[in-house]
Chains A and B, each alone.
Chain A
Amino acid sequence: MSFLLFQASVVIYLLSVAAYLVFFLTKKAAMRRVGRAIFLAAFLVHAVNIVARYIEAGHTPITSHHETISFFAWSLGCCYLSFRWRYTVKNLGTFVSILVGALMLVAAFSSREMLPLAPALQSWWLPVHASITLIADGFLALACIGGIMYLLQEREIKTKRFGLFYSRLPSLEALDKLNHHCLSVGFPLLTLGLITGSIWAKQAWGAYWHWDPKETWSLVTWFLYAAAVHQRFTVGWRGRRVAILSIIAFLSVLFTLWGVSFLLKGVHTYAS
């Protein structure tokens, strides 16, 4: 059941990517509405899929690779819609839908097997820690996308060579505001994710901090974002520098999320 829903959502996401791309290239406002509607539909199907999987697995479906990536894609969609509800950022949907679509494809090719949860991990800290962290990651991914858009747009404005992006991307101010918004929501959530994780670790393994690779890398990520937030809110950095920092920090998020699991082994190796 959940598998069917998952596949349906992948297909609908890809349709919305197509619609958004058409909008991006032709600049027809009607396509934008179509893309948004399809994206919303995919998002809802995806949400039902997650609930269905929760019922089937009997625990929060954020443990295997497939589940994590899928949930991450969903939380990115969630962050995007929450942001979209307050501000309009032209063509952000195009970029977000591409990333969500790509994540869903990766999830589709990962093993969908439902693994029994180790007894140590059976706690209601699992949904709290995992979902908070992944939603934080969703906002941070949005900050990264905003950073990429900012750099693309800024380059065209700075060099005065107006190409593909100038007319299609929003103003620098809007992109900078996106970054501001996403950092100021994403960073506290990330911090909260770290704290809940550490409390859960105390409960499960008896110590707050193990210095296993995943924890170390989350700390590195946290420091990178702390730096970005600090520079942004106290020193007054903005624009290009924060955009670059957001992109670098997000690469660290990705590494923490998956790179560590594949390259370095630790207690977080839920995929084994």
Chain B
Amino acid sequence: MPRDTIVLLGVNHKTTPLAIREKLALTAGYEEPLRALGQLEELREYYLLSTCNRVEVLFTCRNVERSRARVLELLFANAVPKEELDRHIYQYLNDEAVEHLFLVAASLDSMIIGEAQILGQLKEAYRQAAKFECSGFVLNKLLHKSFSVAKRVRTETRIGASAVSISYAAVEMARKIFGDLAGKRVMLVGAGEMAELAAEHLVGQGVAEVIVANRTLQRAVNLARCFNGRAVALEELLNQLEYVDIIISSTGATDLILHKEDVRSVMRERRNRPLFFIDIAVPRDLDPAINDLDNVYLYDIDDLHNVVEMNKSERDKEAVKAQRIIAEEKLKFSKWLSNMESTPTIIQLRAMVENLVRAEVEKSMGRLDGLNALEQQGLEKMVAAITGKMLYHPLHYLKDDNHCISQQDRINIVRTLFQLDTRNDDQDGS
């Protein structure tokens, strides 16, 4: 019987503009969508990843077309019309899905190639899926593999070392606007990890003060302490705009927190001193029209990407090396995957048992060529019979379709029991 197909559906920063991505992002956390996916009987195993730059769902199923339609309907139908969704979404099957996941984990598909955050996000997504028991045998193996691939890429190439992060791009833009950053004030709105990173870079450039505004004041206070800054409540945002120069916004708010008119009124009080807004939240926090105001510059995450693109070429060399590692790992995994079908296991098992029996027979009978043809035939028969009898139950167990344990689990049990995977490596290279 054929094995389940691994399907990966998703949108990322390359295929989809931010305006669509922010509608698709699973802002409410993983629990609810994972539960909803659990209702679909088409899916065997599944997991979800939602970050600033991508929303991806990975699952195994029998009928790809039907599962795809149902998953998309379930997750995204409310957010974006179907035709539009179809234009942006990509779909990878089996090997391609594996490769894509590895690329994502190794941060080769990131907006900023080589940034380390994605691996953490991937692990968190997997942890959630595992918590609700959504991932099974194949996905567990696949995701664990993707973590180790990411690690391998990171240690064997310099891709992480020369990574130019979003935050670095933000600093570069700030320098193009303000020239010297000494004496400038930065405000973080929302205490996200990305914002923290950007603030760290800016502090490195000598900014005078870091102000943190957050919905929960306690977190703001904690973060502000890291930068020797001060914390304010989110409600004070507008008042603070008069004093700060760079605003990094990364709240989880679903609506805009700052509109064009708010900023326009502030500019008068600022005597038109420039303001630089960086919106790294998805969905966006800041009204895109803010950019139309004089002396106000608004960059969202896609725009920063363009800045990053400009100094990318150096990292491309390391990316080639990383691609090779991924191609290698993909091959290994697809070999493992093909072992998951029962036929190779049966053949392997048969071969292994037969070899064992034959070896024992040979040992006890001494040299076999002393026998005549008839005796030899008899021995062959005996070897075949013992093999057949020994394997009857395991094979039955493998082939039977009415088990409460899934076939893949059964294959795995048999393979573990007979140590097929460890033996396999040193016996044949096929």
Contacts and interface: CB of A to CB of B under 8 A. Distances in A.
Contacts of B93: none
Interface string A160-179: 11100011001111100100
Given A167-B310, A172-B177, A158 B295 contact: no
A170 B177 CA distance: 9
A237 B173 CA distance: 22
B295 A173 contact: no
Interface string A204-240: 0000000000000000000000000000000011111
B294 A240 contact: yes
Contacts of B299: 160
A174 B180 CA distance: 9
B332 interface: no
A236 B294 contact: no
Contacts of A153: 176
Nearest to A237: B272
Nearest to A234: B271
Given A171-B179, A174-B179, A158 B272 contact: no
A157 interface: yes
Contacts of A240: 294-295
Contacts of A162: 306-307, 310
B310 A158 contact: no
Interface in B289-310: 291, 294-295, 297, 299, 303, 306-307, 310
B333 interface: no
A262 B294 CA distance: 38
A33 interface: no
Contacts of B272: 236-239
Nearest to A174: B179
Contact of A238 (B175, B295, B310): B295
B179 A241 contact: no
A180 B318 CA distance: 46
Interface string B294-330: 1101010001001100100000000000000000000
A172 B294 contact: no
B178 interface: yes
B274 interface: yes
A145 to B, nearest CB: 18
A157 B177 contact: yes
Interface string B272-289: 111000000000000000
B263 to A, nearest CB: 15
Q: How large is the interface on A (under 10, 10 to 19, 20 to 34, 35 or more residues)?
A: 20 to 34
Contact of A171 (B175, B291, B303): B175
Contacts of A173: 177-180, 274
Contact of B294 (A170, A177, A239): A239
Contact of B177 (A167, A171, A236): A171
Nearest to A242: B272
B176 A166 contact: yes
Q: Which of B178, B179, B180, B299 has the most CB of A within 10 A?
A: B179
Contacts of A239: 272, 274, 294-295
A150 to B, nearest CB: 11
B169 to A, nearest CB: 11
Interface in B374-419: none
A241 B272 CA distance: 11
Interface string B172-189: 010111111000000000
A132 B59 CA distance: 79
A160 B179 contact: no
Contacts of B179: 170-174, 177
Contact of A158 (B178, B273, B291): B291
Contacts of A237: 272
A157 B274 CA distance: 13
Contacts of A170: 179
A203 B306 CA distance: 63
A147 to B, nearest CB: 14
Contacts of A174: 179
A173 B176 CA distance: 8
A158 to B, nearest CB: 7
B146 to A, nearest CB: 33
Contacts of B303: 160
A238 B295 CA distance: 8
A170 B306 CA distance: 19
A157 B271 contact: no
Interface of B: 173, 175-180, 271-274, 291, 294-295, 297, 299, 303, 306-307, 310
15 contacts: A157-B173, A157-B176, A157-B177, A158-B291, A158-B297, A160-B303, A171-B175, A171-B176, A171-B178, A172-B176, A172-B177, A173-B274, A237-B272, A239-B272, A241-B294
Given A171-B177, A238-B271, 19 more contacts: A153-B176, A157-B176, A160-B299, A162-B307, A162-B310, A166-B176, A170-B179, A171-B178, A171-B179, A172-B178, A172-B179, A173-B177, A236-B272, A238-B272, A238-B295, A239-B272, A239-B274, A239-B295, A240-B294
